[in-house]
Amino acid sequence: MRIFLLLLILTLTFGCATRNIKYDRNKILEKYSADYKLFVDNEKMNLETLFLNKDNIENVQINKRTQELKITQLKPTELFAIKNFRLDSLFPDRKIEAKRKIDLIIIDGIPMTDSLKEKTKIDLNAINSISIITQEKMNNSTFGRRYDGDLLLITTK
């Protein structure tokens, strides 16, 4: 009887090591980013520098035994590197906008430093809105510092 109970407990313990969760980028970053390895479509990634379209997520699976978090997308998408972001790609018809320089990019309230700009990638379908605050408007406000370019605000879904 004891052997049967021991085998039952071991089976339940090992059987519950993997579970599915809902994709919520902020909760996943809070709970799992430090201890778990992240894979997006079986490719190792860093979720701190990755912004995915939540409507394209098919499955998020956590394996506690191997400390892995696997995200599967419905359709694999090409990720856009933030370091390649240019205003003329946003406004191809406006010659004035194309000559402007972006000094700071903020994605969902997170300012992108130069080192983060090099690593950060975003799914273009994840972008909810893009707005530009001009250099003149920022330097006339009380932000406490002078800016050499425009501020680009990006919000994701």
CA distance 28 to 22: 9
Alpha helices in the chain (DSSP H): 2-15, 25-32, 87-90, 95-98, 114-119, 135-140
As a whole number, mean pLDDT of residues 115-129 equals: 87
83 Cα distance to chain centroid:
15
pLDDT-derived band of residue 44, with 50, 70 and 90 as boundaries? very high
Q: Is the pLDDT of residue 90 over 90?
A: no
Residue (of 64, 71, 76) closest to 24 by Cα position = 71
Percentage of residues of the chain with pLDDT beyond 90: 13
Q: Is the pLDDT of residue 54 over 80?
A: yes
Query: Could you tell me which residue, 87 or 112, shows the higher pLDDT?
Result: 112
pLDDT value for 134: 75
Query: Could you tell me which residue, 64 or 94, shows the higher pLDDT?
Result: 64
CA distance 50 to 14: 31
CA distances to 7, 63, 65, 66, 132 from 10, in Å: 5, 16, 13, 17, 57
Residue (of 34, 31, 40, 35) closest to 60 by Cα position = 40
Query: Could you tell me which residue, 128 or 90, shows the higher pLDDT?
Result: 128
pLDDT value for 39: 92
Q: Is the pLDDT of residue 26 over 80?
A: yes
